Structure 1
Amino acid sequence: MDAPSGPVPAKHGVSGTHVAWFWRSAAAVGVAASAVVHLLLWNQGYQDLDVVGPLFLLNAAGGAVLAVLLVVWRHWIPLVGGIVFGATTLLAFVASGTVGFFDVSGPLMFGRDETIAAVAEVLAVVASTVALLREQRR
């Protein structure tokens, strides 16, 4: 019996590439959202703090670059960057509200901006990790 000569039907379902792309995109959204919050906070007075002010601006700029790299550079390095960015930014926030972080200390408070940034940073860590694991499987 001869094989059919027509086009091969497409497989139904979502490929591993699409799933990894979803998680990579989610990581970029998390990193970008955190960067935007840090830029807004820097503009609302954090620029006056000696060490933390420049760190907020660096976070915003680095986050913007990393968010772009996550979607345009299909390599493991931006994914590790997403994990490190989210984890260290979240750790600095927790430190500032518990033991102090340079010139910022006080009770851990979750206003709107802090909540958005914290959720974004958790998203960056989780989504970058899942994308990295999915892409390493291929």
Structure 2
Amino acid sequence: MTTRWVGAAAVAVSAIVHLSLWFDGVKDQGTVGALFVVNVVAGLVIAVLLVRWQHWLPLLLLVGFGASTLGAFLISASGSLFGIHTGWSWYAWLAAIAEIVAVIAGVAAAAREGYLNRR
């Protein structure tokens, strides 16, 4: 259960960073602005599901959220995503670390709860 709380905290941190960035001007960047809103809502919903619903689905959502959000950031940091190029600022590091923790926590919780051992 503790691993789920770590995952919930990690996904909430990522969502809060994206909300802060949205208010700081990302909202005016078309597709990326809309995707930041989706990221915030999804992150908060996943955080609640992780601690309220003891099922494998929130863990899958946690891993998917962390991996896809980190992947999108790495694409935008190394090239361009929807015409947007980002850099490695403190909030980018915070979100990236939170997303890595989310993936690790999701896999660890799935293993601990026996979801990875079922056939």
TM-score range, shorter chain: over 0.9
What aligned pairs does 1:77-92 form with structure 2 within 5 A after superposition? Answer: 77-92=57-72
Give the deviation of 1:103 after TM superposition.
2.1
Higher mean displacement: 95-104 or 79-88: 95-104
What code does the residue aligned with 1:71 have?
Answer: V
Tell me how far 1:44 sits from its aligned partner.
Answer: 0.4
Cα RMSD of the aligned pairs, angstroms, is: 1.3
Describe the SS at the equivalent of 1:104. coil
What amino acid is the match of 2:97? V
Structure with more of its chain in helix, by fraction: 2
Offset of residue 48 of structure 1: 0.2
Partner of 1:122: 100
> CA contact under 8 A between 2:77 and 2:88: conserved in structure 1?
no
Name the CA distance, whole Å, in 2 between partners of 1:34 and 1:110: 15
Matched, 1:100 2:80: yes
The answer for unaligned runs of 5 or more in structure 1 is 1-20
Match of 1:54 among 25, 31, 34: 34
Runs of 4+ in structure 1 off by over 4 angstroms are none
In structure 1, distance between residues paired with 2:97 and 2:10: 8
- Give the AA of the match of 1:54: A
Structure possessing the higher radius of gyration over alpha carbons: 1
Distance 1:54 1:37 in 2: 15
Aligned length: 116
Return the alpha-carbon distance in structure 2 between the equivalents of residues 103 and 32 of structure 1. 26
Q: Which amino acid aligns with 2:83?
A: D
Deviation at 1:99, TM superposition (A): 2.5
- Find 2:22's aligned residue among 34, 42, 45: 42
CA distance in 1, matches of 2:95, 2:77: 14
CA distance in 2, matches of 1:119, 1:105: 19
- Residue 22 of structure 1 and its aligned partner are, at CA, apart by 1.0
For normalisation by structure 2, the TM-score amounts to 0.93
Superposed displacement of residue 98, structure 1: 1.3
